[in-house]
Amino acid sequence: MIELSNMQIKIQTFGIAREICGDAQISMLVPESTTAGQLKQLLTEQYPRLGALASFLLAVNEEYAEPHIQLQANDEIAVIPPVSGG
Amino acid sequence: MIELSNMQIKIQTFGIAREICGDAQISMLVPESTTAGQLKQLLTEQYPRLGALASFLLAVNEEYAEPHIQLQANDEIAVIPPVSGG
Amino acid sequence: MACIHRVSGPASGGIDVFIGTVRDATKGKEVLRLEFETYEKMALREMQKIAAAAFERWPVQALVIHHRTGVLQIGEVAVVIAVSAAHRDAAFDACRFTINTLKQTVPIWKKELFADGEVWVAAHP
Amino acid sequence: MACIHRVSGPASGGIDVFIGTVRDATKGKEVLRLEFETYEKMALREMQKIAAAAFERWPVQALVIHHRTGVLQIGEVAVVIAVSAAHRDAAFDACRFTINTLKQTVPIWKKELFADGEVWVAAHP
């Protein structure tokens, strides 16, 4: 059996990541069981300027996400470029 | 030739030293060329409770005085018990 | 200054307050104004974590974090952190820890606007 | 809070403010109120020395020391130190140095009044 199972995820972007991605929220079709680390890679391929940042992290459900975290379709996902508050 | 040369000095007192000495300003007759260190000793003899303090310093002309400083009759002298501002 | 009132109480002996203001220059270049963007819900969670860590590490009585967002002019207050404790060392340590950690973890982004352009602070190496 | 205004300016990026308030208890014993006595002229000279030392050691822009005298009730502000600098580390370090040194050198004396008596703080070993 061959099964392809993708999911549509929504990704919020902030700061310079919003400017790079062109919108405050983008959608991506990714395989089910995609991890945060894999999504980071996919994002860098699709938006190479993200790779030029000093760093960027992903947040899942308002928490910084370890790379091994598996994403769910209804997760609240966000691209977090280097923070600079204060 | 024998010469006795004394001087009258005025000493301001503060905090617990004022309570020990009984007045905000006391006078003492001391030999000319008395040093700050010697005055401290004289004060401790006259007011033994000063010796029971955690420490006390003398100020001469609004500066903490090293023990070797020679006092002048018109110096502004003060007894500084342990400070506790802030 | 409301932040100071909110942390003061009869049992507190020392309050340390850090106030971050908008500087008129960065690396010698004149800044016209700042813009702060935030991921608000996550920023509040991260601030909450910092406060919890501070309370765990130091005998702190109250801790307030206040951060502006949007456009700020030169000299305006961007951030206020106020910490009260019975003794001053805890207040100083917890206040400094809070601003240092906030700058590392809280999702807030600062854009500096110059006469000839704008820069997202710290974005690039 | 006037102290904060007096140290803030367009070139300052960080202000650290220490506020010492009258605590309601000392070593577990209820304090009714405080009384501060000072040798005013010398106190100002010693404060001036502290400020000069702070300016010499850290890149500080402005430094204000304010200390109350006389009778103070619980919760009242006894001392305010406000330090501004382009960067926060200098503001924190200089502010902490100032309060620590003030407590060691400036001729100000605190008397704590209890229900059953009074004590000059730190007077005896």
User: Other CB atoms closer than 10 Å to residue C31's CB: what's the count?
Assistant: 18
Tell me which residue of B47, B18, B63 sits closest to B77, measured CA to CA: B63
Lowest mean pLDDT among C90-99, D21-30, D88-97: D21-30
Tell me the chain D residues in contact with residue C92 when contact means C-beta distances shorter than 8 Å.
Answer: 18, 92, 95-96
CA distance B53 to chain D (A): 5
Of chain C, the percentage scoring pLDDT greater than 70 comes to 99
Contact A85 C125 (CB under 8 A): no
Q: Is the pLDDT of residue D73 over 90?
A: yes
Chain B / chain D CB contacts < 8 angstroms: 79
List the beta bridge partners of residue D26.
Answer: D29
Tell me the chain A residues in contact with residue C99 when contact means C-beta distances shorter than 8 Å.
Answer: 86
Q: Is the pLDDT of residue C71 over 90?
A: yes
C33 contacts D33 by C-beta, under 8 angstroms: no
Tell me which residue of D121, A20, A2, B19 sits closest to C13, measured CA to CA: D121
Output the pTM of the full model.
Answer: 0.92
- Which residues 6+ apart lie within 8 Å of D23 measured at CB? C10, C11, C12, C13, C86, D31, D74
Q: Which residue of C has its CA nearest to D32?
A: C10
Tell me the chain D residues in contact with residue C121 when contact means C-beta distances shorter than 8 Å.
Answer: none
pLDDT for the residue C4: 79
Tell me the chain D residues in contact with residue C21 when contact means C-beta distances shorter than 8 Å.
Answer: 8, 12-15
Pairing mode of beta strands D25-26, A63-64: unpaired
First to last CA, chain C: 36
Whole-angstrom distance, CA of residue A52 vs CA of residue B63: 60
Closest partner CB to C20 (pick from D9, D14, D17): D14
> Side chain identity at A15, as an amino acid letter?
G
* Dihedral angle sign, alpha carbons of residues C46, C52, C56, C59: positive
The interface predicted TM-score of the complex, written ipTM, equals 0.90
Average pLDDT over residues C51-60: 98
A76 contacts A9 by C-beta, under 8 angstroms: no
| B83 interface with D at CB cutoff 8 Å | yes
| Secondary structure of B11-59 in HEC code, one letter for each residue | EEECHHHHHHHCCCEEEEEEECCCEHHHHHHHHHHHCHHHHCCCCCEEE
pLDDT for the residue A2: 80
Whole-angstrom distance, CA of residue C85 vs CA of residue C61: 5
D106 contacts D50 by C-beta, under 8 angstroms: yes
* Dihedral angle sign, alpha carbons of residues B46, B49, B52, B55: negative
- Looking at every residue in chain C, the average pLDDT score rounds to 94
Of chain B, the percentage scoring pLDDT greater than 70 comes to 100
pLDDT for the residue A4: 82
| Dihedral-angle region of residue D75 (phi above 0 means left; psi in -120 to 50 means alpha; beta otherwise) | left
Half-sphere exposure of D114 (CA within 13 A, CB side): 12
Contact C123 A16 (CB under 8 A): yes
Tell me the chain C residues in contact with residue D14 when contact means C-beta distances shorter than 8 Å.
Answer: 18-21
Lowest mean pLDDT among C66-70, D25-29, D78-82: D25-29
User: Other CB atoms closer than 10 Å to residue C37's CB: what's the count?
Assistant: 20
Closest partner CB to B85 (pick from D110, D120, D123): D110
Contact C120 A62 (CB under 8 A): no
Contact D13 C20 (CB under 8 A): yes
pLDDT for the residue C38: 98
Residue D84, SS3 per DSSP: strand
Q: Is the pLDDT of residue C25 over 90?
A: no
Which of the four pLDDT bands, split at 50, 70 and 90, describes residue D1?
low
Average pLDDT over residues D19-25: 91
Which of the four pLDDT bands, split at 50, 70 and 90, describes residue D93?
very high
pLDDT for the residue C5: 79
The token duo for D48 is 């001036």
Closest partner CB to C86 (pick from D1, D23, D91): D23
Tell me the chain D residues in contact with residue B60 when contact means C-beta distances shorter than 8 Å.
Answer: none
pLDDT for the residue D82: 97
D111 contacts D118 by C-beta, under 8 angstroms: yes
Contact D106 B85 (CB under 8 A): yes
Q: Which residue of A has its CA nearest to C111?
A: A15
Q: Is the pLDDT of residue C1 over 70?
A: no
Cβ-defined contacts of D30-33 (< 8 Å, 24+): D30/D114, D30/D115, D31/D74, D31/D112, D31/D113, D31/D114, D32/D74, D32/D113, D32/D114, D32/D115, D33/D71, D33/D72, D33/D73, D33/D74, D33/D113
Over residues D37-72, the pLDDT tens digits come to 999 999 999 999 999 999 999 999 999 999 999 999
Chain A / chain C CB contacts < 8 angstroms: 79
